[in-house]
Amino acid sequence: MTATRPGGPPAYVAAHRIAVVDGRLPFEQAYCLTKLVFDHAGGPVVPERRGQMSLKLCKALAVENLVMLTGEMSETMPAIVRLTVTASFLEELGYLPEQIVVVESRNSGGHKNVNWFVEVTQEGLDLVASAIASG
């Protein structure tokens, strides 16, 4: 079996190295990661609905800790905050310990819109850099 040497854009070559030669990721995920690095300088970028940089691929990369995926609600959502101590105790304390606060969100029905952002982590950058260096 002969080794393949891809040509083309740097993102494609690096993705080929990560997916085919190293076997670290499926090609679609590797290409998404390398496009984020080469075409968008690591982000933050709004992922596409479909295509080479889809939200589905970005979620798979987030599981591998290669990208950081964050969401921002585009609508306000009511929330209920329960305190297990009195407000006067908190005033005396001077700060708010995490253990005494419970926040519950109340979904008012319909689907809430989320604006997603993806950014490459240091581990993702290192993976792409190692693919470039070894190629």
Residues 5-15 have pLDDT tens digits of 667 788 888 88
The 10s digit of each residue's pLDDT in 36-79 is 988 888 778 888 888 888 888 888 888 888 999 888 776 666 66
C-alpha span between 79 and 97 (Å, rounded): 19
* 20 φ/ψ angles, rounded to the nearest 5 degrees: -90, -50
For tokens 């889809």, the residue is 54
Mean pLDDT of 90-101: 63
**pTM for this one?**
0.67
